[in-house]
Amino acid sequence: MCCSYSEQQKKDVTNFTQEQKQLIEKIGIYHEQQGFPPVVGRIMGLLYVSDRPHLSFEEIIDTLNISKSATSNALNLLLQMRLIEYTTFSGDRKRYFSALLEKWHQEVVDKMGSILAFSSLLRKANELRGDSNPGMNEKVLERIEFMEFLSREVPLLLEKWRKERKKYFFCPL
Amino acid sequence: MCCSYSEQQKKDVTNFTQEQKQLIEKIGIYHEQQGFPPVVGRIMGLLYVSDRPHLSFEEIIDTLNISKSATSNALNLLLQMRLIEYTTFSGDRKRYFSALLEKWHQEVVDKMGSILAFSSLLRKANELRGDSNPGMNEKVLERIEFMEFLSREVPLLLEKWRKERKKYFFCPL
DNA sequence: AATTTAGTTCTCAAAATTATGAACCAAAGA
DNA sequence: TCTTTGGTTCATAATTTTGAGAACTAAATT
């Protein structure tokens, strides 16, 4: 096999402007703040900033100057978290990675799930406290109810969003 | 000064049931997952599970078996993040800490702020990409717009919540 | 004035995280 | 069959985080 997809398309990937490099780092830092290791964040930054639809393992390594192992682990983590995806091309053994932009909606729903999990811990706390401190129970209950309110309302919000989108894109008469 | 607030009220704080201890740890782990160190999480757990309205520095140390320094740092972090507060009683040098349950609403608004910050990074990415990959720009833009939609809608949701509450608690004619 | 109390700050050790480089492996190509 | 490619896995090094303990401080008590 003489010409892979990347050879056909390669236009020096590693040549980012200073501004683009800074943006990759900023997006990286944002992801670090969300709990990811630096390399993982940088890969997300690269995938968001690159003007290529998808990058190979090799290109990621060369652009970011990171090790194969760190890259392998980071990509597998991101794949597992469904934050990125990859495409393949027949006759080319490489995998081509890109940010999975459609995931965002689900992410919000998941976040609500975790809030709900916490609210059930608070419920348990109230239950175990019994009536030894009714004032506290009442305040905790208000917080529980607010979290549950959010969990009910956010999916509705997603629905609203989907409808607004549909209006614009599917029936633009 | 012979009797501090804590001496008047002390009914063996450290005697939690197995179930309560487990709940403290679970709430601790939840906070760890939100990015806090273990000790910080456990203190939150303790403050949520305790049936006492507020606990002193000493009581926290004795109950959780943690060092003074870790406790001091953790409490100051939590105070600064406005997740806990403290009360004082005249003639008693101690500070009495409790979870700040009212903070939750603001927390949601803050979270939206961070989402908005990320969306402006993505806007920059689109801008720097120019028109070299319109398909990507379009998908990224959809994500940006969704984030901005959320940032607009969530404060409205808070307003809705406040109104529902008022209905129940302030005008229950 | 000396001691106790309620913490804070500093130093350091232990533990956890992160990333590297080398060894490895399976599939493809020569 | 031997080599190359596209990774993965392992051992380890570097860095960061976390928390303990001792020394410290300032106010209150004796």
Tell me the Ramachandran region of residue A37: left when phi exceeds 0, alpha when psi lies from -120 to 50, beta otherwise.
Answer: beta
In the structure, how far is the CA atom of residue A72 from the C1' atom of nucleotide C22, in angstroms?
Answer: 15
Exposed, middle or buried: residue B14 (CB in 10 Å: 0-12, 13-18, 19+)? exposed
In the structure, how far is the CA atom of residue B69 from the C1' atom of nucleotide D11, in angstroms?
Answer: 36
Q: Are A125 and A137 in contact (CB under 8 A)?
A: no
Q: Are B106 and B112 in contact (CB under 8 A)?
A: no
**Overall average pLDDT of the B43-70 stretch:** 97
Percent of chain A with pLDDT over 70: 88
Using the predicted structure, report yes or no on whether residue B165 has a pLDDT greater than 70: yes
Using the predicted structure, report yes or no on whether residue A93 has a pLDDT greater than 80: yes
Using the predicted structure, report yes or no on whether residue B171 has a pLDDT greater than 80: no
Extract the tokens encoding B62. Answer: 């004795």
B95 beta carbon to strand C: under 7 Å: yes
pLDDT at residue A172 in the model: 47
pLDDT at residue B151 in the model: 92
B5 beta carbon to strand C: under 7 Å: no
Contact call for B19 and A53, based on CB within 8 A: no
Whole-angstrom distance, CA of residue A7 vs CA of residue A55:
12
Domain topology for A5-99: Arc Repressor Mutant, subunit A (1.10.10)
DSSP state of B98: E
Range with lowest mean pLDDT among A164-168, B56-60, B149-153: A164-168
Mind listing the pLDDT tens digit for each residue in B89-121? 999 999 999 999 887 787 888 888 899 999 999
Mind listing the pLDDT tens digit for each residue in A114-133? 999 999 999 999 999 999 99
Rounded-to-5 percentages of helix, strand, coil across chain B: 70, 10, 20
Mind listing the pLDDT tens digit for each residue in A35-71? 999 999 999 999 999 999 999 999 999 999 999 999 9
Whole-angstrom distance, CA of residue A27 vs CA of residue B125:
10
Mind listing the pLDDT tens digit for each residue in A23-36? 999 999 999 999 99
Range with lowest mean pLDDT among A103-112, A162-171, B125-134: A162-171
